[in-house]
Amino acid sequence: MPTGCGPACGRGEGELGLPPGRVFIFSRFKSSTVKECIHAILKEKLADAQYVPEEVPQLTKSLSEIIKDRLKEEGFDRYKMVVQVVIGEQRGEGVNMAARCFWDADTDSYAHDVFVNVSIDCFTIGNVKLLLL
């Protein structure tokens, strides 16, 4: 597992021309890291799974918790996090998903990944938003 990929942060004390109290980030949150993390988890958990209606609610819930816990371990513990997982059965229906956020563009960001498993006929969207504490 990659280490040291979380951000380092500090608060401005009026040096470097930054207003006092303004948070600045040494290394920016990398949404590609988060996306890889989501992708790895979805692939690992869903590659051999079957779409069983009784089990899917539990699967959706546990996937979102696993992703959240993995990201905390990866060093994003200075962030508040919202992880959303959507699993749908594929029967040729149309699906569309959109999101909008009201946040601090300097510090907050998001990553998402879509996993389609043809053998079990389901698509999974993993959606992660991170907001600096």
Partner 1 sequence: SSLGKRTEKASVLLVAIESAIGGNAYQHSKVNQWTTSVVEQTLSQLTKLGKPFKYIVTCVIMQKNGAGLHTASSCFWDNSSDGTCTVRWENKTMYCIVSAFGLAI
Contact residues for partner 1, defined by CB under 8 A: 51, 53, 56-57, 59-61, 63-65, 67-68, 72, 79-104, 108, 127, 129, 131
Q: For residues 48 and 122, what is the distance between their CA atoms, to the nearest angstrom?
A: 12
Q: In the complex, what is the shortest distance from the CB of residue 133 to partner 1, in angstroms, rounded to a whole number?
A: 9
Q: Quick one: 47 or 82, whose CB is closer to partner 1?
A: 82
Single-letter amino acid code for the residue at 133? L
Helix (H, G, I), strand (E, B) or coil at 8: coil
Q: In the complex, what is the shortest distance from the CB of residue 109 to partner 1, in angstroms, rounded to a whole number?
A: 12
Q: Quick one: 13 or 65, whose CB is closer to partner 1?
A: 65
| DSSP state letters, 30-51 | -HHHHHHHHHHHHHHHHTT---
Q: Quick one: 39 or 112, whose CB is closer to partner 1?
A: 112
